[in-house]
């Protein structure tokens, strides 16, 4: 297990997760931003949340895909547990900080982290871990550029990561994205990654 954590750069992932949690407690994470005239207005914490799935994708791509994909003991379940633990830590911490009044953006960032995780897991069977964070980044970009709803205060329905943190429909959609991501990650056959390991 210690070799697995060393290959997956668990310390670097933990450092990024801790930095995101600390930044959520900073008042600047609750500032509203509207990056585009047609984009959704979002709290800055939603942008911070992309860091954790991105670093998890990098960490899980560090192994030798040729060996891990053809070995006797595949690491699919271990990588899933690693990704869920890292993103879950940030999501629970953000929600907890929000509950005790230290992070207004905590719930929105927690929801965004889970959505980004679900999208990354959905992408892994098709693109591999190295490119999996591209899908959540593209979703965030689409929301920032085109996610405006009927007015500046309300995002489009599909841009639910920009909704208020306590919006029930956004949490339902988050759950759906996460379940679909985990199911795709576990059930869709992987393409064999023949690229050399990332350094």
Q: What is the pLDDT of residues 2-26, one digit of tens each?
A: 888 888 889 999 999 999 999 988 8
Residue range 50-106, pLDDT digits in tens: 999 999 999 998 877 666 666 545 788 889 999 999 999 999 999 999 999 888 888
- Any idea what DSSP says for residue 30? G
Query: Is 195 domain-assigned?
Result: no
pTM attached to this predicted model:
0.88
Query: Is 23 domain-assigned?
Result: yes
Please state the domain count of the chain: 1
* Cα distances (Å, whole numbers) of residue 129 to 20, 82, 100, 134, 182: 21, 13, 35, 10, 14
Query: Is 93 domain-assigned?
Result: yes
Q: How many CB atoms lie under 10 A from the CB of residue 186?
A: 12
- Within 8 A by CB and 6+ apart from 170, the residues are 111, 160, 161, 163, 164
Given a contact cutoff of 8 angstroms between Cβ atoms, the answer to whether 85 and 13 are in contact is no
Query: Is 193 domain-assigned?
Result: no
Query: Is 178 domain-assigned?
Result: yes
- Sequence length of the chain is 199
Q: Specify the pLDDT at position 190.
A: 72
Taking the C-alpha atoms of residue 117 and residue 114, their distance in angstroms, rounded to an integer, is: 5
More confident residue, 191 or 40: 40
Query: Is 196 domain-assigned?
Result: no
Q: What is the extent of the structural domain holding 106?
A: 2-187
């Amino acid at each position: 297990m210690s070799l697995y954590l060393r290959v997956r750069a668990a310390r670097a992932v933990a450092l990024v997760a801790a930095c995101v949690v600390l930044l959520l407690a900073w008042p600047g994470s609750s500032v509203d931003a509207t990056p585009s005239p047609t984009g959704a207005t979002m709290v800055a914490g939603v942008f911070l949340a992309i860091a954790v799935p991105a670093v998890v994708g990098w960490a899980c791509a560090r192994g030798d895909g040729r060996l891990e994909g053809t070995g006797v003991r595949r690491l699919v379940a271990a990588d899933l547990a690693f990704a869920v633990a890292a993103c879950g830590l940030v999501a629970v911490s953000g929600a907890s900080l929000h509950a005790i009044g230290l992070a207004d953006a905590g719930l929105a960032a927690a929801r965004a982290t889970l959505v980004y995780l679900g999208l990354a897991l959905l992408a892994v069977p098709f693109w591999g871990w190295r490119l999996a964070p591209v899908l959540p980044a593209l979703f965030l970009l689409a929301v920032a550029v085109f996610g405006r709803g009927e007015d500046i205060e309300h995002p489009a329905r599909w841009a639910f990561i920009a909704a208020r943190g306590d919006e029930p429909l956004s949490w339902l959609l988050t759950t759906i994205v996460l379940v679909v991501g985990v199911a795709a990650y576990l059930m869709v056959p992987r393409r064999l990654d023949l690229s050399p390991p990332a350094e």
